[in-house]
């Protein structure tokens, strides 16, 4: 579940982990899985929604089975609405007591172990703070209402057992004004109109069990754009003004379903798939009906720069990882989010190629490292947290995804995908924890990998490697020395990891897998001549920080000959030798000629930090690069020089470039000059319509830099 659209900025960092932490996670409250006295089976939620009054009236029927002998009182979670009556399945009134957070219903007689009963609660509420969000009409969205049930807010709009370790089926019978459409989980049973009352009632039925926080509804004047994958209905519920954006935004969904069906070894488990626009930040993977932030809607012209494939594939993957199988307690959030995040990497690589996949995975690593360095470290699986939402962080999303990537490389592709399929089939429609997944690993591979999961899931932190290489010319041997230098006093272990070290000589490349088990290790590699390049972690598999200083000649070779991640790293490391003329030549060459855009971008970012007089000419050329990210980086680097003589060039780029990202950067470059003469141009540019207001935001940033924002 991606609650926020995270801008993952590539920062190739090789510094040793030294930053003091702001939060000591070990001081968080100790939590445990919630116990139950009954097994909820089905909720029938009949709800009448008044968008004008921001109010609702409901009748929810709860069917349950007692998990103990002599159950006298059923305790439900219930907040922000008033229960007016409770009746048995025979219509007899039942005694109840409502507190601020609970509804206690007394059974007509004590229930026996395994006995099943039903009762109906009638209630009403108005504009709850969380759980059910009534939104006024705005420039971006029509008047609407939608549920925001994650992680434990569903009980703010109907009484229920609100914890993920219980799975139920449910119905939603929602009545709204007749111009609205209602989206919800499951199959649409019926739509009935009451012309006299001016209302319409949608009856949805979720016939396969799922956790309560996945129950969803939304009501708005939606346009439903229909699509399909084989016989599976795939629909896009969008605001009327966004109808033409539906296919550019969501049109790859059927292809994604086909891909996930194949790699997970388990066909899409639900009866349809809807993606529903709501005015929230990110996505929420409600079963068969994902709530999607309206801000991802993009037209065909801007799809290349603002593609939604990351969030769309991530939320779709949750239909397996989070909905089909669901975390048993919030300690195991990685069971949902790490798998969803790794899945969006897998699709990204499938859709765009190996190099794009490598950069996507590196972005995920850097995202985690920023949190680990500036906020805290914690175990991925931990029962210490103050509130469930705290667990949905960069440890759960990208770090967990990288752990799965290492597991895949450890056991091999064939075994890894067999593990996924076995796990999904074994625990389908059930609640799971990490031990369940570990059992699937052991069943499929026959290997005891407890050591792997212990260090990566149950211990905090990551390895920080200091790597040094030496050349023994007499023995014709390259010696690679590796030291783990992470802060062991904070509970971070000495990691046991396999790593591939590659040695390149004029005769070619030799790669060998070695095991790092101790704080300090040394490996020797026979070579006929001093290596042109030694690469630690060939293939970029490990979740790590690494400090591996190289000589200039080695970096010059690496920036032209290594893989994408290695070339990007070399482009950054070359700045250590920025006064050598060869550095400018190498960076200028890569900025203009490297076959992959992300390397060209990295070279440009380093070029911008040089004082070489020829830099500006190169950057003006790369402002015409085929890739918008490269053009954007070029303008950013030019702008850092703060030269007013470039203002006309920035205006030309703003006028001629089709990319809104590039146009926005041209405005920011103008702002960096501090020249007040550009204020009228910036003010006019701020009125240009753009995706997510990107151009307007850039113009305002530029005005702020010039000191004219307040006046404007």
Mapping DSSP onto H, E and C, the string for 457-469 reads HCCCCCCEEEEEE
Answer yes or no: is 532 within a domain: yes
Whole-model pTM? 0.94
Beta pairing partners, 233: 228
* CATH assignment of the domain containing 496: 2.60.40
Segment 452-457 mean pLDDT? 98
Residues 445 and 536 in one domain: no
> Sheet containing 131-135: which strands, arranged edge to edge?
131-135, 144-148, 217-220, 181-184
The answer to whether the CB of 265 falls within 8 A of the CB of 421 is yes
Q: What is the mean pLDDT of residues 687-706?
A: 95
Domain match, 194 and 59 both: yes
Domain total of the chain = 3
Residues 210 and 98 in one domain: yes
Q: For the residues 230-241, what does the mean pLDDT come to?
A: 98
pLDDT above 70 covers what percent of the chain? 96
Q: Which residue has the tokens 């009762």?
A: 119
In this structure, the answer to whether residues 188 and 144 fall within a common structural domain is yes
pLDDT at 8 over 90: no
Last residue within a domain, chosen from 511, 546, 581: 546
The reply to whether 312 falls in a domain is no
Percent of the chain with pLDDT over 90: 94
Domain end call among 546, 573, 602: 546
Q: b/e for 305-331, b at 16 or more Cβ within 10 A? A: bbbbbbbbbbbbbbbbbbbbbbbbbbb
Residue 438 lies in a domain: yes
Mean pLDDT confidence for 498-503: 98
- Chain segment 460-490, per-residue pLDDT in tens: 999 999 999 999 999 999 999 999 999 999 8
Q: Is the Cβ–Cβ distance between 407 and 455 less than 8 Å?
A: no
Strand partners, 276: 237, 291
- Is pLDDT at 9 greater than 80 in this prediction? no
- Distance (Å, whole) CA 698 – CA 661: 9
Longest dimension (CA), the chain: 97
52-74: per-residue pLDDT in tens?
Answer: 999 999 999 999 999 999 999 99
- Looking at residue 688, the DSSP 8-state letter turns out to be S
pLDDT category of residue 709 using cuts at 50, 70 and 90:
low
Q: Is the pLDDT of residue 5 over 70?
A: no
Res. 651 pLDDT band, cuts 50 70 90:
very high
Q: Which residue has the tokens 């969501």?
A: 250
Residue 333 belongs to a domain with what CATH number? Answer: 1.10.390.10
pLDDT at 18 over 90: no
CA terminus-to-terminus distance, the chain: 39
Task: Indicate the helix (H) or strand (E) that contains 607.
Answer: helix 597-607
Q: What is the pLDDT of residues 147-178, one digit of tens each?
A: 999 999 999 999 999 999 999 999 999 999 99
Question: Does the pLDDT value for residue 312 go beyond 70?
Answer: yes
Range of the domain at 355: 25-31+329-457
Pick from 221, 246, 270: which residue ends a domain? 221
Which pLDDT does position 125 carry in this prediction?
98
Q: What angle do CA 492, 2, 187 make, to 5 degrees?
A: 135
Reported as a pLDDT band with limits 50, 70 and 90, residue 7 is very low
- pLDDT, tens digit (0-9, with 9 covering 90-100), for 97-109: 999 999 999 999 9
**pLDDT in the model for residue 3:** 44
Summary mean pLDDT of the chain: 95
Average pLDDT over residues 279-294: 93
Structure confidence at residue 16 as a pLDDT band (50, 70, 90): very low
Same domain, 110 and 182: yes
Structure tokens at 12: 């190739």
Reply yes or no on whether the pLDDT at 119 is more than 70. Answer: yes
pLDDT at 712: 52
Higher per-residue pLDDT: 238 or 611: 238
Which neighbouring-strand residues pair with 549? none
Is the pLDDT at 10 greater than 50, yes or no?
A: no
Which residues have CB under 8 Å from 507's CB, separation 6+? 528, 529
Residue 507 confidence (pLDDT) above 90? yes
DSSP category for residue 30: B
What tokens were used for 465?
Answer: 């490697």
pLDDT 10s digits, 239-282: 999 999 999 999 999 999 999 999 999 999 999 999 999 998 88
Q: What are 392-428's pLDDT values in tens digits?
A: 999 999 999 999 999 999 999 999 999 999 999 999 9
Position 710 scores a pLDDT of 62
CB contact at 8 A, 495 and 516: yes
> Does position 19 have pLDDT exceeding 50, yes or no?
no
Asked if residue 421 and residue 387 are part of one domain, the reply reads: yes
Coil, helix or strand at residue 297: coil
Task: Give yes or no: residues 358 and 476 share one domain.
Answer: no
Predicted local confidence at residue 13, as pLDDT? 34
- Separation CA 456–CA 337 (nearest Å): 16
User: Are 415 and 509 members of one domain?
Assistant: no
Q: Which of 30, 103, 31 is nearest to 73 (CA)?
A: 103
Same domain for 128 and 71, yes or no, is yes
Residue 367 counted as domain residue = yes
Residue 695's Cα: distance from chain center in Å? Answer: 25
Domain at 106, CATH number: 2.60.40.1730
């Amino acid at each position: 579940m991606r609650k926020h659209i995270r801008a993952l900025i590539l920062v190739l960092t090789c510094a040793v982990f030294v930053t003091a932490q702001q939060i000591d996670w070990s001081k968080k409250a100790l939590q445990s899985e919630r116990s139950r006295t009954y097994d909820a089976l089905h909720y029938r939620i009949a709800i009448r929604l008044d968008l004008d009054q921001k109010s609702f009236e409901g009748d929810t029927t709860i069917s349950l089975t007692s998990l103990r002998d002599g159950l006298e009182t059923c305790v439900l979670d219930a907040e922000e609405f008033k229960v007016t009556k409770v009746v048995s399945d025979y219509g007899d009134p039942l005694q109840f007591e409502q507190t601020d957070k609970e509804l206690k219903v007394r059974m007509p007689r004590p229930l026996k172990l395994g006995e099943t009963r039903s009762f109906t609660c009638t209630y009403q509420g108005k504009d709850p703070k969380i759980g059910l969000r009534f939104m006024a009409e705005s420039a971006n969205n029509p008047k609407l209402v939608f549920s925001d049930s994650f992680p434990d807010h569903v009980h703010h709009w109907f009484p229920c057992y609100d914890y993920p370790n219980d799975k139920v089926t449910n119905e939603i019978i929602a009545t709204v004004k007749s111009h609205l459409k209602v989206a919800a989980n499951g199959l649409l049973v019926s739509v009935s109109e009451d012309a006299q009352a001016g209302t319409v009632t949608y009856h949805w039925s979720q016939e396969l069990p799922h956790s309560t926080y996945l129950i969803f509804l939304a009501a708005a004047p939606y346009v439903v754009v229909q699509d399909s994958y084989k016989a599976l209905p795939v629909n896009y519920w969008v605001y009327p003004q966004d109808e033409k954006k539906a296919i550019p935004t969501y049109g790859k969904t059927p292809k994604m379903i086909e891909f996930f069906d194949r790699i997970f070894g388990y066909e899409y488990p639900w009866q349809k798939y809807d993606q529903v626009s709501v005015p929230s930040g990110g996505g929420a993977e409600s079963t068969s009906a994902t709530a999607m932030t309206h801000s991802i809607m993009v037209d065909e012209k801007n799809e290349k720069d603002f593609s939604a494939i990351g969030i769309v594939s991530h939320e779709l993957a949750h239909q397996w990882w989070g909905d089909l199988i669901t975390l048993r307690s919030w300690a195991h959030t990685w069971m949902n989010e790490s798998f969803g995040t790794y899945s969006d990497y897998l699709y990204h690589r499938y859709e765009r190629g190996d190099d794009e996949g490598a950069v996507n995975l590196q972005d995920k690593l850097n995202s985690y490292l920023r949190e680990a360095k500036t906020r805290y470290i914690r175990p991925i699986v931990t029962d210490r947290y103050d509130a469930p939402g705290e667990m949905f962080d960069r440890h759960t999303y990208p770090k967990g995804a990288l752990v799965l990537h290492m597991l895949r490389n450890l056991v091999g592709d064939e075994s890894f995908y067999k593990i996924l399929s076995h796990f999904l089939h074994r625990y389908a429609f059930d609640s799971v924890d990490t031990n369940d997944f570990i059992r699937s690993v052991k069943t499929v591979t026959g290997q005891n990998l407890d050591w792997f999961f212990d260090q990566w899931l149950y211990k905090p932190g990551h390895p920080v490697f200091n790597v040094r290489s030496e050349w023994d010319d007499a023995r014709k041997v390259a010696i690679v020395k590796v030291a783990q230098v992470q802060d062991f006093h904070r509970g971070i272990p000495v990691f046991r990891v396999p790593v591939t070290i590659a040695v390149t000589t004029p005769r070619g490349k030799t790669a060998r897998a070695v095991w790092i088990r101790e704080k300090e290790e040394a490996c020797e590699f026979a070579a006929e001549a001093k290596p042109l390049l030694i690469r630690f972690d060939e293939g970029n598999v490990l979740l790590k920080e690494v400090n591996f200083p190289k000589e200039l000649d080695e970096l010059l070779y690496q920036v032209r000959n290594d893989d994408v991640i290695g070339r990007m790293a070399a482009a950054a490391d070359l700045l250590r030798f920025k006064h050598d003329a060869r550095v400018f030549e190498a960076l200028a060459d890569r900025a203009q000629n490297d076959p992959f855009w992300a390397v060209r971008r990295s070279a440009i970012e380093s070029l911008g930090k040089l004082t070489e007089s020829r830099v500006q000419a190169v950057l003006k050329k790369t402002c015409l690069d085929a890739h918008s990210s490269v053009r954007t980086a070029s303008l950013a680097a030019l702008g850092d020089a703060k030269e007013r003589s470039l203002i006309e060039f920035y205006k030309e780029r703003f006028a001629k470039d089709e990319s809104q990202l590039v146009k926005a950067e041209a405005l920011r470059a103008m702002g960096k000059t501090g020249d007040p003469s550009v204020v009228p141009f910036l003010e006019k540019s701020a009125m240009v319509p753009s995706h997510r207001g990107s151009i307007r935001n850039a113009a305002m940033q530029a005005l702020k830099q010039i000191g004219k924002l307040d006046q404007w």
